[in-house]
Amino acid sequence: MRDAAGRIEVQERIMFVLKKLLSAAVQPCSLLLAVMTLGLVLLLFTKRQRTARALLTAGLALLALLSLGPVARALVRPLEIAYPPLLAQATQAVSTMPDGSPAPRWVVVLGGGKSDDDSLAPVQKLAEPSLVRLAEGIRLQRLLSGSQLLLSGGSSGTTTSEAETLAAAGVSLGAPRDHMVLESQSWDTIDEVRMLRAMLGDDRFVLVTSAMHMPRAMAMFRKAGMIPVAAPTDYLASGEDSDMLSWFPHAHAGLIIERALHEYLGLFWAKLRGQAR
């Protein structure tokens, strides 16, 4: 029985690594670099000059297109508007939700990345998505009477889990440690679903994650029979397309597009494997 469980765990870890490698390979930067490198090789070392010029031109045009703010917002916005912010205007503690239902006992914060540099303070170790999610989780935990923070995120081979780093950062920001529970074994979203399912059972809970990640997370938790209440944060599709400067290429737009494509691919993969509905 234990051997079978071990084999399943190994298979899951192998699948995790393959998924990450595939995701990295199909990101815009990787694909554009491959296209333009092929074009350059054909240009310099073969007689296929027309094909080479076409590949280089296409690569340059796509690079320019994927560096535009309006293109980034067009990709991200459908993900970010899927769920509205939770209690965005609330300033005092509440015991009921906007729909009149009782406030959930749990505010679950999904990890979004961290550094392993021990010379940094816990807050400084957190990647921007993690820090913004933590801040939103603390805000909601303070608003929802009787609730606790459940911080989720494993270690990925490092000595300190992301959940522990989130907790240390939260304490440094004034959140009480005795209102926190940690889930420190998960590697990715589907792992978080499994771990949190075992911890929460059928309890209704507030789910805090990046607005872009929320559709995939909600689909996966619901598929597992859980009852999440969406609390999106870390919005990236802000700004107006009418702003002339947004039409100038910049690297930040490319990073946003990369994150958006990661989410679309992740949702497709989850549905393909029956992990999301």
> Is residue 158 over pLDDT 70?
no
> Is residue 8 over pLDDT 50?
no
The model's pLDDT over 166-182, given as tens digits with 9 standing for 90+, comes to 999 999 999 999 999 99
Burial 80-105 (b: 16+ CB within 10 A, else e): bebbeebbeeeeeeeeebeeeeebbb
* Backbone dihedral angles phi then psi of residue 164, each to the nearest 5 degrees: -65, -40
pLDDT at 224: 96
Euclidean distance between CA atoms 254 and 261, whole angstroms: 11
Q: Residues 24-32: what's their mean pLDDT?
A: 77
* 3: CB partners within 8 A, 6+ apart: none
Euclidean distance between CA atoms 120 and 126, whole angstroms: 10
Name which of 236, 198, 238, 192 is nearest 218 in CA terms: 192
pLDDT at 90: 93
* Percentage of the chain modeled with pLDDT above 90: 74
The model's pLDDT over 99-108, given as tens digits with 9 standing for 90+, comes to 899 999 999 9
> Residue 109's beta-bridge partner residues?
151, 208
The model's pLDDT over 225-236, given as tens digits with 9 standing for 90+, comes to 999 999 999 999
> Residue 150's beta-bridge partner residues?
108, 181
The model's pLDDT over 108-126, given as tens digits with 9 standing for 90+, comes to 999 999 998 989 999 999 9
Which position has the higher pLDDT, 192 or 246? 192
* Bridge-based pairing state of the strands 106-110 and 148-152: parallel
- Mean pLDDT rounded to a whole number for the chain: 90
How many whole angstroms from its chain centre is CA 114? 12
Residue 3 has which token pair?
């051997």
Residue 74 has which token pair?
């067009």
> Is residue 24 over pLDDT 80?
no
Is residue 237 very low, low, confident or very high in pLDDT (cuts 50, 70, 90)?
A: confident
What amino acid occupies position 46?
Answer: T
The model's pLDDT over 120-157, given as tens digits with 9 standing for 90+, comes to 999 999 999 999 999 999 999 999 999 999 999 998 66
Angle at alpha carbon of residue 198, lines to 208 and 4, rounded to 5°: 125
What amino acid occupies position 123?
Answer: V
**Three-state SS at 46:** coil
Lowest-pLDDT range of 28-37, 203-212, 241-250: 241-250
Euclidean distance between CA atoms 125 and 177, whole angstroms: 18
Please answer whether residues 273 and 95 qualify as being in contact, where contact means their C-beta atoms are separated by less than 8 angstroms.
no
Enter the CATH code of domain 106-233.
3.40.50.620
Residue span(s) of the chain under CATH 3.40.50.620 come to 106-233
DSSP 8-state class, residue 87: S
| Tokens 């929802």 sit on residue | 144
Lowest-pLDDT range of 25-34, 67-76, 173-182: 25-34
Tell me how far apart the 2 most distant CA atoms of the chain are, in Å: 73
Euclidean distance between CA atoms 7 and 5, whole angstroms: 5
Angle at alpha carbon of residue 75, lines to 72 and 78, rounded to 5°: 135
